[in-house]
Structure 1
């Protein structure tokens, strides 16, 4: 009976260790996302840009466009896209390694998003996790709150003051 109990305890501890290690492997790349990216995503590999039928590689900070029958990475969009404004266009999050290999599937799935207005973008978000994007006039205050059981909980209260550069009428092109 003791061997059975000991075996069960060992099995439960192994399961608990595996569960704990799965919780530790969380990927977050909020800081590397462009300010014109949509809010709500902690990790993004690529944005599919249906208005120009191209991609933006978030970790590499490059566009992926189709030129001369091949997909190429570029730091800036080619001149044929000079009227494209990422702040005012719809972006689709694609978390795959090389989405252009399934481009026909992705394009067909999101063709209805072409011409749609943009979602709420990181630059205009009031969410605390995007505080760094609000510029030097953001006023961040740390507040300590005690719960009934005596544990301290820390919350961040953010007040954002518009400075004209980040919270305008959305007509400016802006920068990454």
Structure 2
């Protein structure tokens, strides 16, 4: 009987303790790549004018057109494998929160044509390579010019 009483008290204690447990929710908003511009922690997308494509920070993926369809890939398309993401301009899209930034592609393409440069940008990190070795945020899959220096240009708050 004493064992049954102690078991009952133990179960009651556990029930009361668990009812006071706090619930914690962790939302992962994505880690910007090292080649991304500094100062834009609230952005989800970059528009890459030279490539006419987007980069989704949350999904660590590129969004680009292929035969009229928008595709997602964790790697740059083969045609752009040698593109220098550290030196290429990134338009930060702070005003878009959906899943299809390409709905505004015609506007972005017209406003930010190939070769577009806005205010000077600094990248979050330096290009991994000779003397650096920091590959923690490298999403460019080896697309660098090999000089070991990261010197980007400008940021745009559009």
Instruction: Give per-residue Cα distances to partners, 1:92-145, cap 9 Å, x unaligned.
Output: 111312220110011111126537897200005xxxxxxxxxxxxxxxxxxxxx
Alignment of 1:83-162 (within 5 A): 83-95=82-94, 96=96, 97=98, 98-111=100-113, 113-114=115-116, 119-124=121-126
Q: As a proportion of its length, which structure holds more helix?
A: 1
Task: For residue 59 of structure 1, report the CA deviation from its aligned partner.
Answer: 0.2
Higher relative contact order (CA 8 A, sep 6+): 2
- Structure 2 unaligned residues grouped into runs of 5+: 1-26, 135-147, 152-158
Partner of 2:149: 169
- Deviation digits for residues 17-65 of structure 1, max 9, x if unmatched? xxxxxxxxxx994x61111100011211110000110000110000001
More strand by share: 1
Q: Is the 8 A contact 1:63 1:76 kept in 2?
A: yes
**Does the C-alpha gap of structure 1 residues 100 and 114 become closer, same or farther in structure 2, counting only changes over 3 Å?**
same
The TM-score with structure 1 as length reference comes to 0.52
Q: Is the 8 A contact 2:123 2:150 kept in 1?
A: no
Alignment partner, residue 20 of structure 1? none
